[in-house]
Structure 1
Amino acid sequence: MRNGIKREDIELLAPAGNWDCLKAAVANGANAIFFGVEKFNARARAENFQMAELPEIMAYLHMYGVKGFLTFNILVFENELEDARELIDACIHAGVDAVIVQDLGLVKMIREISPDFPIHGSTQMTITSPEAVEFTKPFDMERVVLGRENSLKEIKKIGEKAKLPMEVFVHGALCVSYSGQCLTSEMWGGRSANRGECAQACRLPYDLMVDGVQKEMGNIAYVLSPKDLAAIDLVPELIEAGVTSFKIEGRLKTPEYVANVVSKYNAAIERYFAGQDTGPTEVEVRELQQSFSRGFTHGFLTGTNNKQLVDGSFPKSRGVFLGTVKKLLPTGVLVDITSPVKRGDGIVFDAGDPTQKEEGGRIYDILSRSKKVEGEVSKGMYEIVMGRNDVNLKRLHVGDRVWKTSDPELDRRLRKTFETEKPYRTFPLSVHVSGKLGEKLSVTWVDKQANHAVSVPSEVLLETALKRPLTAELLHDQLSRLGGTIFHLEAHDLTVDLEGDLIVPVSELNRMRRDAVEQLVFLRSKPPIYHHHDINVYADAPKSQPVEKPLLTALCRSLEQLEAAAQTDVDFLYADFEFVKQYPEGVKLAHKYGKKIGIATMRIHMPDENGVLALIAKSKPDAILVRNTGALYYYLSRRDEIDIPLIGDFSLNVANHKAVELFLATGLERVTPSYDLNIQQMVDMLSRSNAANMELVIHQHMPMFHTEHCVYCTFMSEGTDHTNCGTPCETSRISLKDRVGFSHPVRVDTGCRNTVYNAIDQSGAEYLSEFRSLNVGSYRIEFLEEEPERVKEVISLYRKALRGEVSGTHVWRTLKATNQLGVTRGQLTK
């Protein structure tokens, strides 16, 4: 125990994309594993397990005292609820220790199926504040996985206020966007990150455009590609901040990676509880880098440092920095080596432009002054000789950086940890032996770690010993022969209570030992029992109410847009401004024109940001557009003092009727469907919901990335965060130009977070007649950079379409004709 915390209170949680990864995690000290099956998980590209394997997986893990969590961390569409129910049933029957869930509609369904089956709120729930944790409590969730953007100070504050176990990512790839709030893959490639199909648009090169002019960036092109998280040196601070589960990212990684990272973090946790306040060694860090690294960072754990988060010069794993090319030679290169390297290691030559083919391969020889060097070298000038067909030496340059991308010897060592027939770990038994003449020998075996006990009697009666009677030493010798099993027996854990000199055959002792082990393994592998109800997933689907005159609403991002929209016949306005100080003015302006107005909260809610929510309420809007569960809880818990109608926005990720019902039941007046839904999925959900309470966004620039990483601060300032950046966002406008030539605007919110919007506005106008027939209650148009006249034109076109005066197709075609960037029908494509 240390600081009142026991080692068993801390969980090391490892990823597993297949059986080898699972075994590597168990072998190297993981306390729990998270894994996915063939569907419904956020790593659709991983090998994944099959649903039919769940009993075998859980029996295997439980045998070793390891927990197994199934990832169900995607949005579930209406037509998938029945399949989702089937998977939850399978998890309950197999004894899965918890499901990691994103979709609150799924949470509702799980609680209908079982009141006690454990649920973990995934990082895709975007839980970043004590209020967001409080929002989950009515659903009896066992723990929450905090957003990767929370700092140690914030984590501690959340833990102290919310008092729910917290799981935090400590190692692996970082998403530049808030998890659950990235729409880029879905927008550009039809592959939704909320559906486990991330296309990694953040890892692509972009040109930085400042006020329409390209900024010269040298070899910096990957402006949204963060380094990898490595918090191994922060293990003590994380434990003391109240983190109970240390989560390692990597279900797409190799078993060697899993073995490496799990073993290193296990050692760091053990050091803490042994009172050894030493950080990781140079060798440990280097080996972590070798398995996978885009460069290491603490992410946001030690606070925001935009300069350290993104390197910008390469988007993929580099491994270990080896040195710099000093001279080109006829058969190789002279390199100033700074890290250990040997024959057979893989290297790559980095000329500063990863978009071009890079030279690399295996090292054939290492020479010092023209003589071969055997073994490893670590520092100094050495000639690196590559295989003849591996590297085109003519493409290398003096000054190229050299990276060690693979170390076969390290991989072999890591594989040995889990490619073995021996048990990965053994557990202590305590054994009590008792008996007297003419009765059966009784042996009670206690599995101390699992707290299981079995008693195995002899099949023969005890007799008087003529020679070698049963003694503690003889009994320990026979009963401790547990090699090849998951148990061990120490001499001090054996107690003997025998009356007189007695004997049974050795063969009988061996049988009793084997029988006891078999029973104890069975008890370990037995699934836990949860309550379970058979349900009809659509039993709670309400009937739709007729809507005579649906609302047309408009969201504006400037006072000029707001004034233009207020002069139209739009029914309701929203203000989504960068600066809080403009909110009262926006409300006053709308009311001047006799319009009602709602103010949008920020998309993210952090500890200490309640002041912004209070200012929104103080502005006395007619409604609040709520974008996260933290803000929702804040307003719901203050109903006595803040009695303002609440409307749920797209970022609440409503994708099925159960999520609709959950949010309406909390007190929302309307909810906005997730942008992940295509037209058929939208129709499916609307058909099973009271669509009168739904607000559909039918025209907008898709908000693709939403990120704590500030592009303005990183590339237009000498500062590191909002406290010292000089606010370049107030004087310039940035956009990111992609490979196709589109420039995607980057905007800053009140919390200095960036949103990258799609360059092309999109329209769902041609589906208006279908939505009208489903009795949708409200339709929203969202503006980004449009001039006032454009605002009026767009609103007028949609009003005519709603009245049936023009077709929806006419609307988007007209907009296409008047907008040089064109229009895409985006996420509403059939």
Structure 2
Amino acid sequence: MSSLKRPIELLAPARDCEAVVAAVDYGADAVYIGGARFGARHAAANDAAQIARAVEYARRYGVRVYATLNTLLRDDELEEAERQARELIGAGVDALIVQDMALRRMNLPVELHASTQVHTLTPGHAQFLERCGFARVILERAMSLDEIRAVCAATSAEVECFVHGAICVGYSGRCFLSRSMGPRSGNRGECAQPCRLAWDLTDGRGRTYLAGKHLLSLRDMNLSARLGELMDAGVSSFKIEGRLKEIGYIRNVVAWYRRAVDEALASRPELCRASVGRSVPDFAPDPSKSFTRGESEYYFDGRRAGVASFDTPKAVGEYVGRVASVGARDFVLDRASDLAPGDGICFGGAGTNVNAAEGRRVVPNRMEGVVPGAEVYRNYDHRFSQQVARSRTRRTIGVRAEFAVEAGRAAVRYVDCEGLAAEASCGGDFAPARDAVKMEATLREQLSRSGDTIFRVEEVAGTGAERFVPVSVLAALRREGLERLAALRASRVPEHRILPEDPAARYPGVRLTEADNVTNRLAEAFYCDHGVTEIEPPLELARETTGRCVMRTAYCLRRELGECLKRNPRLAGELWLERDRFRYRLEFDCARCEMCLIDEKESICRSC
């Protein structure tokens, strides 16, 4: 890779070391994984030894490993958080992804990335984070291409954005909906995902407009068709969401995006891939066949309707047709399909399995919910899932083999695609071969083999092919040379951007609200040192959320329903979301095109 080219990174999630291996094998340039504590996915925790193994595997391909340490910290947790950060650094991670500015103040010898939980939306905020020593900023998911372009133009820090997976309906790091309904907090890595629940839309006084709909549940993101535009805007890292996803999802989605990234890079010679190695999956990747709530580009082209999934928060999958007619135990689609026994299908909020299928006729396990006109989706493709599970895709690095044979010495040198080289040689009596042509063919055949190594020999050339070298000697030289090259690759320490904090940097504002979540003394000192003069007590540590805004979001329910206040809506009065005893009044900020949920449930002592 030329240092003059800007590297582009495909960043994959990993629940554990096994998922890291899958992400690397199927083409990721970097992976992110949680440590034992303080990660935004509490259920995806790993100790330092596991992460060290992941780093060892990834490093052979130049793949970087980032550890998530991106929850808010209390004062009594600072010492433990620093201890864990240093353990992760000792395990070899290339960067820490952090939310709490306390970690900026711990003098950690590691590259720092500002998590999406930091809620970076503006060029000014990105500039501030860069000056404070963050090598990378990870953007909020609700941004448009124009907004992303403006941030990239304003900072020399790397910019990372999500391109695939689940979307948090609330602004990242600023959502308290889960905490307002129980003890589990999204800012502590334990979100209960109440946004995926069914809610009633009411006027707050007994009238219900919509009942039992998933009014806050968004479709999943898929920007695979827009990667070239993001590259041109200045984005360096494309992030796939899903640290809780299973191996099949990782294999399929990473393989899909590997191909999409490579296609975009092919027409942009000023850019290059951030790691090395070729992955050729032994199945045709298709993200619609892995978990998806339906695809959306969210607000990439600006804020608009059509991003929610009111009927179900579960996997929808791929569209297969509409029910044309219904029998006693089967139904007929309006088109031919490749449905097969064992597939999972859904229609509206219902779902079942396929017992038999032929052409347009389908025999489901249950007929509940099957009515003429219903749209049918396949949310589980049994044959595809088996194919992915059985996949044995390997990632290989291209090398050139160079041989040199003399009367008393034979040597083999392997050079990889980055110019790294390793040599193996031995002494001996290498007399002229009886058949030089055959000997040269043997040399090329033996030295082009790579076995189960990480290498793929693409070229063999050299001198002395007219001398006889036993096959056993060639095999030993080949094995030793490739082992030395693999060790050389594994021993390389990647370049890190460990940057200082500029004490003259000024935060873009002098006041932090309760939603900005300054929850410990180190974070408070950080902001005060950078010009903040007023810091409200954090909502995250408040005993009650009643009467407070517990979610601010770019998603607007009025817009989604065609009831925008700027367009003479039929529902002109107050709107509320209600579920059991939980009630949230909706406020609409039309100037900023945002919605806010105000907690209006009865005050309950959180210590009871």
**1:403 lines up with 2:249 in the alignment:** no
Query: Match for residue 120 of structure 1?
Result: 113
Query: Which structure 2 residues correspond to residues 315-464 of structure 1 after superposition, within 5 A?
Result: 315-337=313-335, 339-350=337-348, 354=349, 358=350, 360-366=351-357, 373=358, 377=359, 382-386=360-364, 390-391=365-366, 393=367, 396-417=370-391, 420=392, 424-434=394-404, 436-438=406-408, 440-449=409-418, 451-458=419-426, 460-464=427-431
Of 650, 675, 688, the residue aligned with 2:514 is 650
Distance 1:433 1:324 in 2: 63
Deviating more after overlay: 256-265 vs 328-337: 328-337
Corresponding residue pairs, total: 586
Distance 1:96 1:728 in 2: 54
Query: Match for residue 824 of structure 1?
Result: 604
Q: Is the 8 A contact 2:34 2:46 kept in 1?
A: yes
Distance 2:17 2:573 in 1: 51
Of 181, 184, 189, the residue aligned with 1:196 is 189
SS in 2 for 1:243: coil
Of 115, 129, 133, the residue aligned with 1:140 is 133
Distance 2:64 2:285 in 1: 29
Q: TM-score, normalised to structure 1's length?
A: 0.65
**1:231 lines up with 2:231 in the alignment:** no
Q: Is the 8 A contact 2:450 2:456 kept in 1?
A: yes
Q: Against the structure 1 CA distance between its residues 504 and 412, is the aligned structure 2 distance closer, same or farther, given a 3 Å change threshold?
A: same
Q: Against the structure 1 CA distance between its residues 523 and 728, is the aligned structure 2 distance closer, same or farther, given a 3 Å change threshold?
A: farther
Query: Match for residue 254 of structure 2?
Result: 262
Distance 1:55 1:44 in 2: 20
Which letter maps to 1:266?
R
Alpha-carbon shift at residue 337 of structure 1 (Å): 4.0
Distance 1:80 1:743 in 2: 32
SS in 2 for 1:105: helix
Which letter maps to 1:522?
A
Q: Against the structure 1 CA distance between its residues 516 and 86, is the aligned structure 2 distance closer, same or farther, given a 3 Å change threshold?
A: farther
Query: Which structure 2 residues correspond to residues 261-340 of structure 1 after superposition, within 5 A?
Result: 261-275=253-267, 287-305=286-304, 307-337=305-335, 339-340=337-338
1:610-654: per-residue Cα shift (whole Å, max 9, x none)?
xxxxxxxxxxxxxxxxxxxxx96335xxxxxxxxxx332223321
Which letter maps to 1:152?
L
Alpha-carbon shift at residue 107 of structure 1 (Å): 2.3
Which letter maps to 1:410?
F
Distance 1:728 1:514 in 2: 75
Query: Match for residue 557 of structure 2?
Result: 711
Q: Is the 8 A contact 1:441 1:462 kept in 2?
A: no
Q: Is the 8 A contact 2:26 2:395 kept in 1?
A: no
SS in 2 for 1:736: strand
Alpha-carbon shift at residue 203 of structure 1 (Å): 1.0
Alpha-carbon shift at residue 427 of structure 1 (Å): 1.1
Which letter maps to 1:707?
T
Q: Against the structure 1 CA distance between its residues 337 and 254, is the aligned structure 2 distance closer, same or farther, given a 3 Å change threshold?
A: farther
Distance 1:658 1:664 in 2: 10
> Any gaps of 5 or more consecutive residues in structure 1?
277-283, 367-372, 534-630, 636-645, 680-697, 761-820
Alpha-carbon shift at residue 753 of structure 1 (Å): 1.3
> Any gaps of 5 or more consecutive residues in structure 2?
269-282, 499-504
Distance 2:520 2:333 in 1: 58
SS in 1 for 2:37: coil
Q: Is the 8 A contact 1:434 1:443 kept in 2?
A: yes
SS in 2 for 1:701: coil
Query: Match for residue 486 of structure 1?
Result: 454
Query: Which structure 2 residues correspond to residues 241-252 of structure 1 after superposition, within 5 A?
Result: 241-252=233-244
Query: Match for residue 577 of structure 2?
Result: 736
Q: Is the 8 A contact 2:562 2:569 kept in 1?
A: no
Query: Match for residue 171 of structure 2?
Result: 178
SS in 2 for 1:10: strand
Which letter maps to 2:165?
G
SS in 1 for 2:39: coil
Distance 2:121 2:559 in 1: 22
Alpha-carbon shift at residue 399 of structure 1 (Å): 4.0
Q: Against the structure 1 CA distance between its residues 338 and 291, is the aligned structure 2 distance closer, same or farther, given a 3 Å change threshold?
A: farther
Q: TM-score, normalised to structure 2's length?
A: 0.87
1:224-248: per-residue Cα shift (whole Å, max 9, x none)?
1111111122122222212211111
**1:86 lines up with 2:83 in the alignment:** yes
Q: Against the structure 1 CA distance between its residues 469 and 90, is the aligned structure 2 distance closer, same or farther, given a 3 Å change threshold?
A: farther
Distance 2:375 2:405 in 1: 74
Q: Is the 8 A contact 2:113 2:134 kept in 1?
A: yes
Of 496, 520, 527, the residue aligned with 1:663 is 527
Which letter maps to 1:409?
R
Distance 1:462 1:530 in 2: 45
Distance 1:725 1:90 in 2: 56
Q: Against the structure 1 CA distance between its residues 36 and 154, is the aligned structure 2 distance closer, same or farther, given a 3 Å change threshold?
A: same
Which letter maps to 2:190?
E
Alpha-carbon shift at residue 292 of structure 1 (Å): 2.0
**1:156 lines up with 2:149 in the alignment:** yes
Alpha-carbon shift at residue 743 of structure 1 (Å): 4.3
1:355-405: per-residue Cα shift (whole Å, max 9, x none)?
xxx3x4322223xxxxxx3xxx4xxxx33223xxx42x4664444433222
1:648-683: per-residue Cα shift (whole Å, max 9, x none)?
22233212221111111112234234322367xxxx
Which letter maps to 2:450?
L
SS in 1 for 2:191: coil
Which letter maps to 2:361?
E
Q: Against the structure 1 CA distance between its residues 56 and 271, is the aligned structure 2 distance closer, same or farther, given a 3 Å change threshold?
A: same
Which letter maps to 2:81?
A
1:556-603: per-residue Cα shift (whole Å, max 9, x none)?
xxxxxxxxxxxxxxxxxxxxxxxxxxxxxxxxxxxxxxxxxxxxxxxx
Alpha-carbon shift at residue 177 of structure 1 (Å): 0.2
Deviating more after overlay: 423-432 vs 661-670: 423-432
1:104-135: per-residue Cα shift (whole Å, max 9, x none)?
111222xx131xx2111111110111111111
Q: Against the structure 1 CA distance between its residues 448 and 402, is the aligned structure 2 distance closer, same or farther, given a 3 Å change threshold?
A: closer
Distance 2:22 2:495 in 1: 29
Alpha-carbon shift at residue 527 of structure 1 (Å): 6.3
Which letter maps to 1:735?
W
Q: Is the 8 A contact 1:105 1:654 kept in 2?
A: no
Q: Is the 8 A contact 1:433 1:442 kept in 2?
A: yes
Query: Match for residue 587 of structure 1?
Result: none
1:668-715: per-residue Cα shift (whole Å, max 9, x none)?
234234322367xxxxxxxxxxxxxxxxxx886232111001223333
SS in 2 for 1:147: coil
Q: Is the 8 A contact 2:99 2:114 kept in 1?
A: yes
Alpha-carbon shift at residue 66 of structure 1 (Å): 1.9
Query: Match for residue 13 of structure 1?
Result: 11
Structure with more helix by fraction: 1
Distance 1:126 1:467 in 2: 73
Q: Against the structure 1 CA distance between its residues 501 and 365, is the aligned structure 2 distance closer, same or farther, given a 3 Å change threshold?
A: closer
In percent, how many aligned pairs have the same letter?
30
Distance 1:632 1:213 in 2: 49
Query: Match for residue 99 of structure 1?
Result: 96
SS in 2 for 1:33: strand
1:190-230: per-residue Cα shift (whole Å, max 9, x none)?
1110111111111112222236353423x772221111111
Which letter maps to 1:146?
L
Distance 2:389 2:91 in 1: 29
SS in 2 for 1:34: strand
Q: Is the 8 A contact 1:705 1:756 kept in 2?
A: yes
1:716-775: per-residue Cα shift (whole Å, max 9, x none)?
62x5xx8x645899x633221222253434343741211101114xxxxxxxxxxxxxxx
